[in-house]
Structure 1
């Protein structure tokens, strides 16, 4: 499933990284601890977090993640947005809590 399809299905808002909307999604990783994501996330996953600073994109790029979803309507910092556009890794936003968006994404990815 592509990032763009997940956006449509879950009603996510695209903040940045529009050129990466065709990335294929292999799963998801949920964590707010950067070292945890760096050590355990896998290529092609969507990262769900409440972190908004530019280190998020450094790790997303390092791990070649498909996208980042910010929860609770949070907005990324300007530097984070710029890095997202450069790396073509979309930053998406949901008004839902981490628990809610994770459950919805899990159900969506596992109905295929």
Structure 2
């Protein structure tokens, strides 16, 4: 599933990187706000759900090759982070829902996609 597919199926707001959403594949998800933990546990092509909209979050997302960053609970994206995301072609989304609700939705959509491919 692409980031664009998820945005269309959900109430996610694209904060930056909209032109990259159709090319970014999501293979899984990661929830967490501790950057050092994310560096060692997030996987390539994960959608990373967090409430930390800081420049260092973008740096970790780029390092781990995340599909996108999703700011949960309506968390803000600071200007330095937005600039860094744009420079690194990182997609940043926002939702008013919790990270738990957002991850549950993503999981259901990925499972449905997998089921359709296996039919």
What range describes the TM-score normalised by the shorter chain of this pair? over 0.9
Which residue is 1:6 aligned to?
6
Structure 1 residue 20 displacement after superposition: 2.0
Runs of 4+ in structure 1 over 3 Å off? none
Alignment size in residue pairs:
112
Name the structure where helix makes up a greater proportion of residues.
2
> Based on CA coordinates, which of the two structures has the bigger radius of gyration?
2
Unaligned runs of 5+ in 1: none
Unaligned runs of 5+ in 2: 114-119
SS at match of 2:112: coil
Which residue is 2:58 aligned to?
57
Q: CA RMSD in A?
A: 0.9
Structure 1 length-normalised TM: 0.95
Which residue is 2:117 aligned to?
none
Q: Distance in 1 between matches of 2:35 and 2:62?
A: 13
Tell which deviates more after alignment, 54-63 or 100-109: 100-109
SS at match of 2:7: helix
**C-alpha contact 1:17 1:81 (8 A) present in aligned 2:** no
Q: Distance in 2 between matches of 1:19 and 1:37?
A: 25
**CA distance 1:5–1:25, change in 2 (3 Å):** same
